[in-house]
């Protein structure tokens, strides 16, 4: 390990113990930046990375709420305001029992670089709670969201910090959160994105992350005179990102064959077509059921329960051309990465944040496949959130086609920025380095401009 990365990581680990995901995210970025720091010692003397790994502010608060039986629960709420060099803090809220400070810090750190890549004026943040919405009634979810926002509202604002959705936070939760914010602040502003279309939301926002990951894949394939037409694709997850990745893959003539949730995955060799996708959307977004029901509905598909004790996930062992991990962090182990490569997968576009462990990323990069890291491939979601903020400021809404065109343009621009930065710093075709370097440079130069704050 380079001496600069080693000393940075020693400090990061000492100051942030028990936060392995945060360490993983920082180390990947720091390693990518070695050629930049060597060529530009001014970044090192300005202690830019040392400043970037320290959140500008961390909020942690109690969220008490009552269930339908009158029982009291206490969850923990968080907001990490990581970096505001480029604009108001921006990043999603995650409601999942696995949420803790370290996971949100990794996500907030990634978000800073991702938002920089979008070219829109957004700083980076992330938040959420260890609340588990699964199995809770709508009213329980509403009570929780209202309690969460009762504290959070003092810290956010359309020009300060603009949260959005993430795992466990979709249209329903954003609605309850927005309602409570409006009531407390007595103002109707674009303080959250992912809003409903009737009250300030943007067309294409729900689709944006999944579509964006597929648009990015299309750009990567273009560099090899190839396309998604006829490609067999493994997709994980079955939530917001996975659903719209599948929709766009179908539009581009690909054949998605898998989907998953935290209980297991389905494999459908014939392909998940439009009708089957509509079933999944109904199942997941309205009935809030399990993906196992897909196999009960469609003969020829197979459901496999997940086994957390295993170091590999059999979803990644099916023969395919491309993989779109769209569930959660570290869902592709090093073993899975080796299997994907052995089976001839030549493109991985990360819809989720950091879904591949560090050793897996290294294998993909060394194999020279088209590998798009999450901070580039899934930036479409926050990009359209940025466009939602722009529309809210204008008090105006763009047509679907207009937003989609902008999204495609932004994804193509991010692709171009990654290619240019990886070329410029001596690792052509390495999208990991490209994304980290391009994202870093804009934030770093802005921080220098703004002085030691
Ligand atoms: P959703 O809550 O809509 O869906 C998440 C999906 O992943 C569900 O199918 C869920 O299964 C599964 N999942 C969640 N946690 C685990 C776990 N620990 N193990 C296995 N499966 C799991 O979230 P999104 O689709 O919005 O988010 C998916 C990923 O995309 C996340 O990494 C998120 O950070 C990232 N992302 C999302 C953006 C957005 O705009 N929504 C933007 C950029 C990135 P189950 O139903 O069983 O919980």
- Are 34 and 109 found together in one domain? yes
- Are 224 and 352 found together in one domain? yes
- Are 131 and 238 found together in one domain? no
- Are 96 and 164 found together in one domain? yes
User: Where does the pLDDT of residue 23 fall: very low under 50, low under 70, confident under 90, or very high at 90 and above?
Assistant: very high
With respect to residue 220, please indicate whether it lies within any of the assigned structural domains: yes
Closest ligand 1 atom to residue 168 Cα is 2
The residue whose CA is least distant from atom 36 of ligand 1 is 352
pLDDT digits (tens, 9 = 90+) for 237-266: 999 999 999 999 999 999 999 999 999 999
With respect to residue 406, please indicate whether it lies within any of the assigned structural domains: no
**Dist. CA 378 → ligand 1 center (Å):** 12
pLDDT digits (tens, 9 = 90+) for 55-89: 999 999 999 999 999 999 999 999 999 999 999 99
State yes or no: is 195 an active-site residue. Answer: no
Q: What pLDDT, on a 0 to 100 scale, did the predictor assign at position 29?
A: 98
Q: b/e string for 53-77 if b means 16 or more Cβ within 10 A?
A: bebbebbebebebeeeeeeeeebeb
**Dist. CA 280 → ligand 1 center (Å):** 15
- Are 294 and 160 found together in one domain? no
Alpha carbons 183 and 102: distance in angstroms, whole number: 32
Domain boundary among 142, 160, 188: 188
With respect to residue 389, please indicate whether it lies within any of the assigned structural domains: no
With respect to residue 158, please indicate whether it lies within any of the assigned structural domains: yes
Closest ligand 1 atom to residue 381 Cα is 40
When pLDDT is averaged across residues 344-348 and rounded to a whole number, the result is 98
Indicate the average pLDDT of the chain: 98
User: Where does the pLDDT of residue 149 fall: very low under 50, low under 70, confident under 90, or very high at 90 and above?
Assistant: very high
Domain boundary among 313, 344, 372: 372
The tokens for 293 are: 């029901």
When pLDDT is averaged across residues 222-240 and rounded to a whole number, the result is 98
The tokens for 21 are: 């995901």
Q: What pLDDT, on a 0 to 100 scale, did the predictor assign at position 121?
A: 98
Report the CATH number at residue 281.
3.40.50.720
| Active-site position among 90, 114, 126, 284 | 126
With respect to residue 103, please indicate whether it lies within any of the assigned structural domains: yes
Domain boundary among 188, 223, 253: 188
User: Where does the pLDDT of residue 426 fall: very low under 50, low under 70, confident under 90, or very high at 90 and above?
Assistant: very high
pLDDT digits (tens, 9 = 90+) for 347-362: 999 999 999 999 999 9
- Are 322 and 363 found together in one domain? yes
When pLDDT is averaged across residues 263-287 and rounded to a whole number, the result is 98
Alpha carbons 190 and 181: distance in angstroms, whole number: 11
The CA-CA-CA angle for residues 402, 405, 410, to 5°, reads 125
- Are 266 and 134 found together in one domain? no
pLDDT digits (tens, 9 = 90+) for 98-117: 999 999 999 999 999 999 99
Distances (CA, A) of 177 to 105, 124, 143, 338: 22, 20, 10, 42
Residue span of the structural domain in which 40 resides: 3-188
- Are 17 and 133 found together in one domain? yes
**Dist. CA 262 → ligand 1 center (Å):** 9
**Dist. CA 329 → ligand 1 center (Å):** 9
Under the phi-then-psi rule, with left for phi > 0, alpha for psi from -120 to 50, and beta for the rest, what region is 195? Answer: beta
User: Where does the pLDDT of residue 193 fall: very low under 50, low under 70, confident under 90, or very high at 90 and above?
Assistant: very high
- Are 304 and 177 found together in one domain? no
- Are 244 and 154 found together in one domain? no
- Are 249 and 162 found together in one domain? no
Q: What pLDDT, on a 0 to 100 scale, did the predictor assign at position 234?
A: 98
With respect to residue 379, please indicate whether it lies within any of the assigned structural domains: no
With respect to residue 155, please indicate whether it lies within any of the assigned structural domains: yes
Residue 421 pLDDT > 90, yes or no?
yes
- Are 288 and 349 found together in one domain? yes
Alpha carbons 294 and 101: distance in angstroms, whole number: 35
Residue 178 pLDDT > 90, yes or no?
yes
pTM of the model: 0.97
Strand partners, 235: 324
The tokens for 226 are: 């190839």
Q: What pLDDT, on a 0 to 100 scale, did the predictor assign at position 1?
A: 81
Residue 319 pLDDT > 90, yes or no?
yes
Closest ligand 1 atom to residue 165 Cα is 41
Distances (CA, A) of 444 to 113, 287, 423: 10, 45, 19
With respect to residue 388, please indicate whether it lies within any of the assigned structural domains: no
Residue 213 pLDDT > 90, yes or no?
yes
Pocket of ligand 1 (CB under 6 A): 96, 98, 165-168, 170, 209, 237-242, 261-263, 326-328, 351-353, 378, 381
Report the CATH number at residue 180.
3.40.50.10860
Count of domains forming the chain: 2
Residues in the chain: 453
Tell the residue number behind the tokens 């299997």, with chain if given: 339
Q: What pLDDT, on a 0 to 100 scale, did the predictor assign at position 231?
A: 98
The tokens for 136 are: 């809770």
Strand partners, 72: 66
The residue whose CA is least distant from atom 7 of ligand 1 is 327
Q: What pLDDT, on a 0 to 100 scale, did the predictor assign at position 341?
A: 98
């Amino acid at each position: 390990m380079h001496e600069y990365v080693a000393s940075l990581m020693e400090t990061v680990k000492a100051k942030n113990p028990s936060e392995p995901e945060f360490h993983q995210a920082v180390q990947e970025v720091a390693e990518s930046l070695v050629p930049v720091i060597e060529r530009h010692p001014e970044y090192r003397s300005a202690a830019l990375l040392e400043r970037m790994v320290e959140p500008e502010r961390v909020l942690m608060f109690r969220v008490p709420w009552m269930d339908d039986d009158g029982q009291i629960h206490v969850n923990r709420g968080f907001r990490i305001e990581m970096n505001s060099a480029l604009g108001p803090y921006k990043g999603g809220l995650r409601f999942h029992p696995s949420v803790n400070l370290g996971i949100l810090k990794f996500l907030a750190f990634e978000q800073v670089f991702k938002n920089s890549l979008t070219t829109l004026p957004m700083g980076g943040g992330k938040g959420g709670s260890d609340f588990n919405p699964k199995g809770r009634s709508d009213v329980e979810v509403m009570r929780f969201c209202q309690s969460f926002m009762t504290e959070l509202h003092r810290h956010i604002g359309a020009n300060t910090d603009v949260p959005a959705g993430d795992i466990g936070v979709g249209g329903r939760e954003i609605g309850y959160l927005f309602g409570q914010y409006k009531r407390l602040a007595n103002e109707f502003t674009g303080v959250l994105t992912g809003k409903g279309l009737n009250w300030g939301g943007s067309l294409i926002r729900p689709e944006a992350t999944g579509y964006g990951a597929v648009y990015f894949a299309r750009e990567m394939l273009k560099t090899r005179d190839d396309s998604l037409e006829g490609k067999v694709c493994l997709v994980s997850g079955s939530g917001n990102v996975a659903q719209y990745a599948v929709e766009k893959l179908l539009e581009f003539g690909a054949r998605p064959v898998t989907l998953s949730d935290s209980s297991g995955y389905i494999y459908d060799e014939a392909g998940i077509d439009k009708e089957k996708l509509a079933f999944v959307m109904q199942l997941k977004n309205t009935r809030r059921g399990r993906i196992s029901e897909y196999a009960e509905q469609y003969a020829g598909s197979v459901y496999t329960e997940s086994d957390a004790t295993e170091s590999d996930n059999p979803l990644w062992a099916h023969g395919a051309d491309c993989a779109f991990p769209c569930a959660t962090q570290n869902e592709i182990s090093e073993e899975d990465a080796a299997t994907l490569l052995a089976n001839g997968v030549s493109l991985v576009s990360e819809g989720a944040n950091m879904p591949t462990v560090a050793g897996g990323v290294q294998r993909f990069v060394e194999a020279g496949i088209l590998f798009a890291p999450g901070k580039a491939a899934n930036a479409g979601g926050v990009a359209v959130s940025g466009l939602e903020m722009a529309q809210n400021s204008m008090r105006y809404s763009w047509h679907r086609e207009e937003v989609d065109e902008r999204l495609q343009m932004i994804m193509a621009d991010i692709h171009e920025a990654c290619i240019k930065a990886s070329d410029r710093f001596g690792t052509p075709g390495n999208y990991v380095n490209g994304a980290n370097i391009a994202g870093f440079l804009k934030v770093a130069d802005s921080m220098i401009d703004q002085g030691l704050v």
